[in-house]
Structure 1
Amino acid sequence: MLRSSHALAIAIAVALPSPGFAASPQSFKGEYTVSFFGLSIARSTFSSHYENGAYAIEGSVSAAGLAKLFDDTRGTISSKGTISGKKMVPQAFRADYTSGKKASVVDIRFTNGAVTSTQVIPAPGKRDPNNWVPLGASDLASVLDPMAATVVHADSLDQVCGRTVKFYDGEMRADLTLTYDSKGAISVPGYKGDTVTCRMGFEPVAGYRKGRKALNYLKNRSRMMVTFAPLGQTGVYAPIHATVGTQIGTLTISAGRFEAIQ
């Protein structure tokens, strides 16, 4: 999943908000649906907790609807780390998932925000050095895992967009840029209020094959929009709706529940 479809990896990352930065302990929960041409193809849930400068997130994702007939993927995702100022500093990320009878693992460890180890099972095949953009040490400094990359700490909705996120999924390093698009409002169980929508740009940096059509499409042609809403009174904004354009159509991620629990 993370290795074979970066569009889906980004979509799932967008659908799993990170925790807040409240002075007192806070917990959050959410439920999301990923759909394609109006048909549900995946569901995800998450729970997260922040306390004493540390965060922990547990999430799950599973294929749904007709997608289960073709690729019965399901798995769990976890992320933990600390907060430094207004920045997430990840310590560990792990995704365990199965697709049919095939089991896969992505395990990333960090020290001071830099990747110190990555384990991918099954291991990637041999790379053609003429077509592969390798990862360097500088590529893995001050990066965020797929879950920590979704959170935005800002003083207001006006300041959510206008930033670049350094994203690492265990194989590929990419920059995700957020630029302002519009403001709006939304109502879902657990939240009713204002939102801001950012257009998300995608720029592969390293850890990918040159000329790959799916990545070129995400970079040059895909329209990716992410709508953020606040998590309680924490000053944290997380995705509540998103669309990701792919070569075969648009993936839509929608929150069915989005709430902070005091």
Structure 2
Amino acid sequence: MLRSSHALVAMLAIALPSAASAASPQSFKGEYTVSFLGLSIAKSTFSSRYENGAYAIEGSVSAAGLAKLFDDTRGTISSKGTIAGKKMVPQVFRADYTSGKKASVVDIRFANGTVTSTQVIPAPGKRDPKSWVPVSAGDLASVLDPMAATVVHADSLDQVCGRTVKFYDGEMRANLALTYASKGTISVPGYKGDTITCRMGFEPVAGYRKGRKALNYLKNKSRMMVTFAPLGQTGVYAPIHATVGTQIGTLTISAGRFEAVR
């Protein structure tokens, strides 16, 4: 249950308006729904603030609809850090959530973009050294947490795709490769305008069990598409829509609100 709840938190983090480098304070709000086969299974709301080269993001996530009958997961997520040039430099990430009556925590601390400590409660069980790929110190250098990994700093929409993001969720280290797919437009409360869609490739690096079917599917067969839109005039682009193919169907993450607030 821990791993499935942890995965939900990481998945919801994909749909997140995040950091902006701004001389004056700027705030953003996003509301998202995660659906499967047309049925809502989770909801999330995030608010973020950026001031003097620093960012702070807070959010809530919860299971919704029929999913609550099987895994009533709900919790809060927070992320803080600084912005150096066009790079996010996380300092701390924390997720506190419950699944039924079971409480869990993921706490990651950073220094200069490198993970210095990870706390997961309850602690993971013993790993089989024959099948488990351990995380090394080198794997944790210059990585982003689940929130910071969702946004892109770029000079224009045309430059959003064509990059690889190093992602760490407290257990797994993976690379997310974004390649150009298409351009388009979208209209949701708070935003109407141009978008760009990237295909997202998934490459597990460490912190996973070899031969796991779900991961092999994400790596080799899944079709994952992420559509980005600009956060005002900040030069930051955040997901406004995403689809993730799984072994049993496609997850869709859609923004119901995507706006700058003052």
Q: TM over 0.5: same fold?
A: yes
Runs ≥4 residues deviating over 2 A: 1-11
Matched with 1:64 is 64
Aligned residues: 262
- Distance in 1 between residues matched to 2:7 and 2:105, nearest whole Å: 18
Matched with 2:111 is 111
- Distance in 1 between residues matched to 2:158 and 2:250, nearest whole Å: 27
Gaps of 5+ in 2: none
Matched with 2:247 is 247
Change (3 A) 1:182 1:14: same
Matched with 2:171 is 171
Change (3 A) 1:136 1:167: same
SS of 2:13's partner is helix
The AA in structure 2 aligned to 1:140 is L
Identity, in percent, stands at 89
Matched with 1:123 is 123
Contact persistence 2:42–2:65 (CA under 8 A): yes
Matched with 1:90 is 90
Contact persistence 1:11–1:253 (CA under 8 A): no
Matched with 1:24 is 24
Tell me the TM-score normalized by structure 2.
0.97
Change (3 A) 1:241 1:190: same
**1:156 deviation in Å?**
0.5
**1:7 deviation in Å?**
5.9
- Distance in 1 between residues matched to 2:15 and 2:240, nearest whole Å: 8
- Distance in 2 between residues matched to 1:103 and 1:6, nearest whole Å: 11
The AA in structure 1 aligned to 2:75 is G
- Distance in 1 between residues matched to 2:2 and 2:44, nearest whole Å: 15
The AA in structure 1 aligned to 2:116 is T
**1:19 deviation in Å?**
2.1
- Distance in 1 between residues matched to 2:18 and 2:91, nearest whole Å: 14
Matched with 2:213 is 213
How big is each residue's C-alpha offset from its partner over 1:146-189, in whole Å with a ceiling of 9 and x where there is no partner? 00000101010000000000000000000000000000000000
- Distance in 1 between residues matched to 2:3 and 2:164, nearest whole Å: 22
CA RMSD of aligned residues (A): 1.2
- Distance in 2 between residues matched to 1:2 and 1:223, nearest whole Å: 25
How big is each residue's C-alpha offset from its partner over 1:8-45, in whole Å with a ceiling of 9 and x where there is no partner? 45531211221211221100001000000000000000
Matched with 1:55 is 55
SS of 1:174's partner is strand
Change (3 A) 1:7 1:99: closer
- Distance in 1 between residues matched to 2:21 and 2:3, nearest whole Å: 31
How big is each residue's C-alpha offset from its partner over 1:211-250, in whole Å with a ceiling of 9 and x where there is no partner? 0001000000000000000001100000000001111110
- Distance in 1 between residues matched to 2:182 and 2:61, nearest whole Å: 29
Change (3 A) 1:221 1:2: farther
Contact persistence 2:5–2:99 (CA under 8 A): no
**1:3 deviation in Å?**
2.8
Matched with 1:43 is 43
- Distance in 2 between residues matched to 1:50 and 1:215, nearest whole Å: 35
- Distance in 1 between residues matched to 2:102 and 2:6, nearest whole Å: 18
Superposed counterparts of 1:169-208, under 5 Å: 169-208=169-208
Gaps of 5+ in 1: none
Tell me the TM-score normalized by structure 1.
0.97
Contact persistence 2:5–2:73 (CA under 8 A): no
